[in-house]
Homo-oligomer: A and B are copies of this chain.
Amino acid sequence: MTLTWTTNFPGIKTCTIGSNPQTLTGLAGANVKAQRLQKFEEASAHAPEIIVSQHTGKIILKMPIRKQEDIYGAGLKFHSIRNENNVVHLKADHYGGKDNGRTHAPVPFHVSSFGYGLLIDSPEPVSYYIGTPHRRDEKIKPVAQDRNTDDNWQAFNEPAYIEIAINADAATLVLFESNTLLETVQKFNLYCGGGTLPPRWGLGFWYRTPLRFSAEEVNRLVQKFKDNKFPLDVIGLEPGWQSNSYPCTYEWDQTRFADAEGFVQSLLKQGVRINLWENPYVAEKAKLYPQLEDKSGSHMVWCGIVPDYSMPEVRQIIQKQHDEDHVKIGVSGYKLDESDGYDSWLWPDHAEFPSGISGAAIRNAYGLLFQRLTAEIFHGHDKRTYGLTRSTNAGGVGMPYVLYNDCYDFDEYTTALCSCGFIGALWCPEVRNAKTASEWLRRFQMAALSPMAMLNAWADATEPWYYEEVAEQVREAIHLRQKLMPYLYTAFARYHFDGIPPFRALVMDFGDFMNETAGRAELDGTANPYQISTRKEITDQYMMGESIMVVIIKPGQTERDVILPPGKWYNFHTGAYAGCGEVIRITVGEKDPMPLFVKDGAVIPLQNGDEIQTVTFGDTPKGFTLYEDDGTSFGYERGEYQFREIK
């Protein structure tokens, strides 16, 4: 079988196998950023030959992995950003402790360190076999090792091939070829519509209230934030604001919120926006129910119907109600919960939906469709929104949502933050609680250097000043984010206009300069019976915007090695020269801010009241191109913005 490719933009080709396959980008309603894509130079890197076959109802792709080539992407990951001898069966699900493809963002896009990427633009299940056992008929075979005699025996061979199995008889492929890994990611992001540009307030401080909070309790809490002089931009309401949760009515609970509009408007006047939690499953007692009942899937979730959100008329029914009851009275956005998993309460793959989409496909796209549904309401009002979603997929890069979950491992959150950069997603390392003041502070600081700075008190009723001994430092972390607003906002503009992720693993800017093994793997009959050793990778340092590198300090940590990629680096907090393409040891006071290092020549714009000040690093400042617009409307889509050079 031969693939027939159509070149759409420089270095971007598409190909359709079978007839009329659904696409993720289509379900997302993504608008290709065509003009920007036309501007890329011809690609110097090329994808390897892709061999295609079809059998047992599947499309099978096979392509070589070349010497020294690394593969990133293929879904959101929590343990490792690089795919090393990895098999992932992508499926929208709550992350269950393994990077096996069941994840909040099962994005079927892989990207190579050699400068190509491949999107399987299909909502159907896709499995990736990256560098795993080779085929018997291959010409170049890895050399068999012998555990008897070879002290370096390992379970894995040198990676030789990627195989991709698409569980469908039709699919669209999009191939990106460019010059670097980053450029490939940019093209992918722009093909999917360009990154989201949040309203300015969305980059402020978020607080989610405990379960079943009332209007009165929220008002008291807002006063507490004022008393504590703690920034507050968004209040998120958790289950309890609706007249029924699990499943949902989407209607205000009259006992807790007798005057919803008055409540929302009064907060707006104080500069605080309201974000509403919801899940996609509609309760029988909802006004919407009769209109949606026969437009829903065969199975129910928490006794709620599962609307077929792939049907435009279904989205319109919900949009109308949401607009009337929430958006028109001033609600700023949503937290879209429960679109991910688990298997035990979502519908089975064999569930049937009225549009004819398969149960497996709509599960992979459900978070995307739920985002689209809500985002369109705000777009209709020329008002930006920003919120949270438990799942997304390819095509969702322009959706004004960040991902979150129930896990809470510190390291996994930093890895997820880095991993998201490869797949057009954003991660919120939300703060919930902490066992120590040190953990509280380090979590706050990480959140303040992420796509969304949020304390989620839904189950713990924690408040920012929970640990008095670090309350000042927590406040400082959020103040730093406020100061960095012009810089951060510009980073998001670059995400939107150029496809550059605002938060990036170092490998994306600097390539892999860490090509070493994390020590010889020791035999351990229980913990490592196959003597698997993995290569080092950096996920506790990442780029934020153009020139700032964040270095994560873990709870209780007081010193660590910092890898300074090639080029000179300066300490953001002190301005001191730090090093150049080397590993340095730093010590960190237990209440110090997260270390930030800045590239040589960088000019960083800082907000100071209504003023923008700049701070420069190194001897020859290179200037900064500051992005500016009204911060709340979609005027930027109509050209109402500017990129301004500052020195």
Contacts and interface: CB of A to CB of B under 8 A. Distances in A.
7 contacts: A87-B342, A129-B343, A133-B299, A133-B302, A146-B245, A147-B239, A148-B244
Given A87-B343, A165-B349, A525-B433, A146 B299 contact: no
Copies of this chain present in the complex amount to: 2
Interface residues on A, range: 35 or more
Contact of A60 (B87, B350, B456, B460): B350
B55 A148 contact: no
A170 interface: no
A298 B138 CA distance: 10
A113 to B, nearest CB: 20
B129 A348 contact: yes
Contacts of A303: 141-145, 157
Contact of A57 (B57, B146, B408): B57
Interface of A: 55-58, 60, 85-87, 89, 96-98, 100, 127, 129, 132-137, 141-148, 153, 155-157, 163, 165, 211-212, 239-240, 242-247, 253, 283-284, 293, 296-305, 342-350, 352, 358, 406-408, 432-433, 456, 458-460, 523-526, 529
A87 B351 CA distance: 14
Contact of A525 (B147, B284, B460): B460
Given A86-B344, A350-B58, A524 B459 contact: yes
A127 B349 contact: yes
A137 B407 contact: no
Nearest to A161: B299
Contacts of A246: 145-147, 153, 155
Given A97-B98, A211-B523, 9 more contacts: A87-B348, A129-B348, A133-B302, A133-B346, A136-B298, A144-B304, A165-B350, A459-B525, A460-B525
Contact of A133 (B55, B141, B163, B347): B347
A163 B293 CA distance: 22
Given A60-B350, A346-B133, A406-B529, A212 B298 contact: no
B143 A350 contact: no
